[in-house]
A and B are shown apart, each in its own frame.
Chain A
Amino acid sequence: MSVPTRRRGVALVVGASAAVLLLAACGGSSTSDESTSAAPASSSADSGGETSAAPAAGCEAYAAYGTFEGASVTLFTSILPPEQQKFETAWAEFEECTGIDIVYEGSDQFEAQLPTRIAGGNAPDLAFIPQPGLLVKLVETGGPVAAPDSVTALVDQYWNPAWKAYGTVDGTFYAAPLGSNMKSFVWYSPKVFSEKGYTVPTTWDELFALSDQMVADGVKPWCGGIESGGATGWPATDWLEQIMLRMYGGDVYDQWVNHTLLFDSPEVTAAMDTLAGWMKNPEYVNAGFGDVKTIATTGFQQAGEPILKGECGMLQQASFYANFWAEFNPDAVVAEDGDAYAFYLPAMNDNVPTPVVGGGEFVTAFADRPEVVAAQTFLASPEFATAKVKEGTWVSANSGVPLDAYAPGSIDQLSAQYLTDPQGTFRFDASDLMPAAVGAGAMWKEMTAWFAEDKPTQQVLKDIDAAWPAE
């Protein structure tokens, strides 16, 4: 799964957000948009769209979007505060210059509510869709509007073509990518590495030579945890995806996602065997926790802790793991020479250059009013992405964002470097693309049983295939 924050404390907030929604529904007007209430755009909103205010100084860059005094664009997303404020800061200037008020509404029940709102004729103008699979479903039932040419042009220019494919359904391009995250990282302790004289591996073979060296030095090289409450198993599906993409490249990976390549096939079996030699290898795991089976009972949040203590060499986890080190030790520094840092999980062979598994959100429109098109175009532009990147802890795969917009040496910068590589082989997290019965069901469950109960590989793969929906 790509968006772990989505699961955090869902139950706690449901009640509160339901109450808020109820109030908002009763009151008829939502006042979530604090930053814009100060902007001149919304103060003149009451006067019914008079184009009286001349564009303020510094608005030249936004001239192309036009001015829409008093217009507003509603936006629905699963991204909640404090990220909301960063978005609002990033587009504040755009709002001021174009007069468009972007009304932000975040909900942790986004995926359940969006289809309901569309069915009820109450669709937002724009939505940030966290999974391509949801986009496909929405297009099937109707609602999304094909992307305007201005957006298509930006995506063609600035994104790796794989991204565009994920915003496309049946040949029609709908949704431009927004934020991105990078999953092909290995976390380690630069301090321990320099103490022991280890160097960061750049090939798959070097990675495992290093693992063996750690074993010889008496340190278990790998730690891992796949426990994640209701989503237990997802980190294991990530590991399999990394190997699938590295072994076979994008085309086979796509076939696997579409189930034209079965799980119970020589290819996936070989990938599972590779994974077994890595994360199910009793010599390698589970550093700091116990035997191989503890991978199933260790929370992914805790899995990296032994790295700081020098008990574990490496952890394969996504870029967002950067936020976890301070939880283990408030003094931990995430830097290339600090207590924790990440290196790119190396490629396996030359036929698949820079394989990257990742995820991201997509901006889908449900209306084609000119102000919606303007906002949609702006959200796809490198200018917006750069402004948002400067707010921190956010990565865009938009190659128009200069790498020095990121904090120097940050994980975000490292992520962007790989995500914007024009030669790179980017693929979306496969479990997010597969039908939920597999990607959020059987695959999690069976991979967990594979680790916890040593369920035979062939049986695991057969059972995942069996769960694939019939039509």
Chain B
Amino acid sequence: MIWENILEGIPKLGTAAAGIAVFFAILLVVFFVLGRIRGRLSNPVAMLAFLGPAAILLMLGLVVPTFQTVYKSLFNASGKKFIGLQNYGWILTTESNQQVLINTALWIVIAPLFSTVIGLVLALLLDRMRRESIPKSLIFMPMAISFVGASIIWGLVYAYRDPAQEQVGLLSQVVLWLGIEPPNWILLQPWNNFLLMVIMIWIQTGFAMVVLSAAIKAIPGDVVEAATLDGATGWRLFSRVTVPMIRTTLIVVVTTIMIATLKIFDIVRVMTNGNFGTQIVANEMYSQAFVQFDVGRGSALAVILFLGVIPLVSYNIIQLRRERAIR
């Protein structure tokens, strides 16, 4: 059976190999022709040959879908009737969607801020520790867990059972040991939003710590030495020397986590599916487009998300460039 399958597969392999060979042959011809071109045309033609394919792929994969999404966001659920900006009106005026926008804003501010601050503090505390790599690896480890996996883990932490019964949730049990009756955590509005953000912070802190720690170690020793000679210690050294020296890295870390947060969808989907006042834009977009099949509203939400990401991404890129220029 297996051999038959393998034998059957050989012609396919041959086809694939032939395809690759043809591809390289075309490339060789292109390069050969380009190499022959001399004079005024050589530069523009070379640019076209090298940038063309990338530009076409970028058009197909990014630019065209972007315009398509914007276009579709102006249509109704079935995508047949033009309804202007009604979908955007629906997003901005319905009460449940205002909650969605507020929640998303909270996520963007709180999750990156806490991840970065905690990551920075950890980076400072662990810097120059003797076995630095062990605690660092442990803190970085959640980064390796998918959002869905992390959400399932934390779902168990927040699980609620009647206090009279055997507890399943870690948090409830801890609170019970302290002599307090635990609430049904995930229903606790508006705090349940923060309970979900904890998952994001748990995952991203490791990332922030590792990157910031590297930046701190990159601060030239003579700068620190000079500052110390001038009498700077503790908080002063930290706020006047360390932070300004790693400022660009800090900004890159914050904006990177912000972008990740804007896109976050798995945590909310797994933990609450946006119920109990925890909905955010990305999950609402998915629900509208792929569960309720309202392409118009789904696209409009995607556009809003897109508009939110653009300034962050461009700021992030500018900062990255600046950082590179410094080094």
| Chain A residues engaging chain B, CB cutoff 8 angstroms | 11, 26-27, 31, 112, 229-233, 288-291, 293-294, 296-297, 436-437, 440-441, 445, 448-449, 452-453, 469-471
Chain A binder among B119-127, B255-263, B269-277 = B269-277
Q: For residue B162, which residues in chain A have a CB less than 8 angstroms away from its CB?
A: 289-291, 294
Question: Shortest beta-carbon distance, B87 to chain A, in Å?
Answer: 13
Of chain A, the residue at the smallest CB distance from B272 is A232
Which residue in B5, B275, B293 is a CB contact (below 8 Å) of A232?
A: B275
CB B161 to nearest CB in A, in angstroms, measures: 6
Could you say which residues of chain B place their CB within 8 Å of the CB of A469?
77
Complex CA gap A229/B274 in Å reads 10
CB < 8 Å: which of B12, B187, B273, B276 contacts A229?
A: B273
Interface residues of B in 137-183 (CB under 8 A from A): 148, 160-162, 165
Are A297 and B160 in contact (CB-based, < 8 A)? yes
Residue contacts A-B, CB under 8 angstroms, 29 given = A26-B12, A27-B12, A31-B5, A31-B8, A112-B290, A229-B273, A230-B273, A230-B291, A231-B273, A232-B275, A288-B165, A289-B160, A293-B184, A294-B161, A296-B187, A296-B275, A297-B160, A297-B184, A436-B291, A436-B293, A436-B294, A441-B287, A441-B292, A448-B275, A449-B276, A452-B187, A453-B276, A469-B77, A471-B81
Residues of the A chain whose Cβ atoms lie less than 8 Å from the Cβ of B273: 229-232
A-B contact count (CB 8 A): 73
Query: For B302, what are the chain A residues with a Cβ–Cβ distance below 8 Å?
Result: none
Tell me whether B186 is interfacial, beta carbon within 8 Å: yes
Would you list which residues of chain B between 2 and 59 have a CB under 8 Å from chain A? Answer: 5, 8, 12
- Inter-chain contact A230/B161, CB cutoff 8 Å: no
In terms of DSSP, what is the predominant structure of the interface of chain A? Answer: helix
For the complex, what is the distance from the CA of A241 to the CA of B289, rounded to whole Å?
A: 26
B165: chain A residues within 8 A (beta carbon): 288, 290
**Please, which residues of chain A bring their CB within 8 A of the CB of B148?**
11
- B276 and A296 form a contact (CB under 8 A): yes
A247 to B290 CA separation, bound complex (whole angstroms): 34
- Which of B5, B81, B290 has the most CB atoms of chain A within a 10 A radius of its CB? B290
Given contacts A27-B12, A437-B294, contact A290 B276 (CB under 8 A): no
Docked complex Cα distance between A440 and B292 (Å): 6
- The size of the chain B interface, using a CB distance under 8 A, is 30
Q: Which B residues are CB-close (under 8 A) to A112? A: 290
Q: Which of A26, A436, A448, A453 has the most CB of B within 10 A?
A: A436
Assess A294 versus B184: contact at CB under 8 Å? Given A230-B291, A437-B77, A441-B292: yes
Chain A residues with CB below 8 A from B189, complex form: 453
A452 and B275 contact, Cβ closer than 8 Å, known pairs A11-B148, A293-B187: yes
Highest count of chain A CB atoms <10 Å: which of B5, B12, B273, B290: B273
In the complex, how many angstroms separate the beta carbon of A274 from the nearest chain B beta carbon? 24
Measured between beta carbons, the chain A residues less than 8 angstroms from B272 are 232
Write out the residue numbers on chain B whose beta carbons fall within 8 Å of the beta carbon of A289: 160-162
**Nearest CB of B to A85, in Å:** 15
- A31-B5, A289-B160, A441-B287 known; 11 new pairs, CB 8 Å cut-off, are A11-B148, A230-B291, A232-B273, A288-B165, A290-B161, A294-B161, A294-B184, A436-B294, A441-B288, A445-B275, A471-B81
Q: Which residue of A lies closest to B294 (CB)?
A: A437
Q: When A and B form their complex, which 6 residue pairs have the shortest distance between CB atoms, in order from nearest?
A: A290-B162, A441-B292, A436-B292, A232-B273, A437-B292, A448-B275
Q: How far is the CA of A152 from the CA of B146 in the complex (A)?
A: 50
A237 to chain B, nearest CB (A): 14
B137 to chain A, nearest CB (A): 27
Point out the residues of chain B lying under 8 angstroms from A27, CB to CB.
12
Nearest-neighbour CB distance to chain B for A328, whole angstroms, equals: 14
> Smallest Cβ distance from A286 to chain B, in angstroms?
9
Q: Which parts of B47-92 form the interface with A (CB within 8 Å)?
A: 76-77, 81
Give the docked Cα–Cα distance between A293 and B188 (Å): 11
Distance A440 CA – B273 CA, assembled complex (angstroms): 12
- Of the candidates B12, B275, B288, the one whose C-beta lies within 8 Å of that of A449 is B275
**Complex Cα spacing A215 to B182, Å:** 25
Kindly state the separation between the CA atoms of A290 and B165 in the bound complex, as whole angstroms. 9
Q: How many Å lie between the Cα of A453 and that of B272 in the bound state? A: 13
Cβ of A26: which chain B residues have Cβ within 8 Å of it?
Answer: 12
CB distance from A341 to the nearest CB of B (A): 25
Q: Say yes or no: A230-B269 contact (C-beta < 8 A), given A290-B161, A449-B275.
A: yes
Contacts of A452 in B (CB 8 A): 187, 275-276
Provide the bound-state CA to CA distance between A26 and B14, in Å: 12
Give Cα A292–Cα B12 distance, bound, in whole angstroms: 59
> In chain B, what residue has the closest Cβ to A290?
B162
What CA separation (Å) do A445 and B12 show in the bound complex?
A: 48
In B91-108, the 8 Å CB interface with A consists of none
> Least Cβ distance of B183 to chain A in Å?
10
Residues of B within 8 A of A448 (CB): 275-276
For residue A222, give the distance in angstroms from its CB to the closest CB of chain B.
Answer: 15
Which residues in A have their C-beta under 8 angstroms from that of B76? 470-471
A290 touches which of B77, B160, B186 (Cβ 8 Å): B160
Complex-state Cα separation, A26 to B161, whole angstroms: 52
Closest residue to B159 on the A side, CB-wise? A297
Q: Which residues of A contact B77 (CB under 8 A)?
A: 437, 469
Verify B291–A297 contact, CB threshold 8 A.
no
Docked CA distance A115–B288 (Å): 18
Neighbouring B residues of A230 by C-beta, 8 Å: 269, 273, 287, 291
Distance, CA A291 to CA B164, complexed state (A): 12
Residues of the A chain whose Cβ atoms lie less than 8 Å from the Cβ of B274: 445
A232–B268 alpha-carbon span in the complex (Å): 12
Q: How far is the CA of A58 from the CA of B181 in the complex (A)?
A: 70
Q: Which has the most chain A C-beta neighbours within 10 Å: B8, B269, B291?
A: B291
**What CA separation (Å) do A233 and B273 show in the bound complex?**
10
A470 contacts which chain B residues (CB < 8 A)?
Answer: 76
Closest to B94 in A: A466
The complex places the Cα of A88 from the Cα of B276 at a distance, in Å, of: 44
Bound-complex Cα distance A448 to B270 (A): 15
Query: How far, in whole Å, are A449 and B186 apart by their CA atoms in the complex?
Result: 13
A267 to chain B, nearest CB (A): 25
Which residues of A are found within 8 Å of B270, using beta-carbon distances? 229
Q: Within the assembled complex, what's the spacing in Å between the Cα atoms of A229 and B286? A: 13
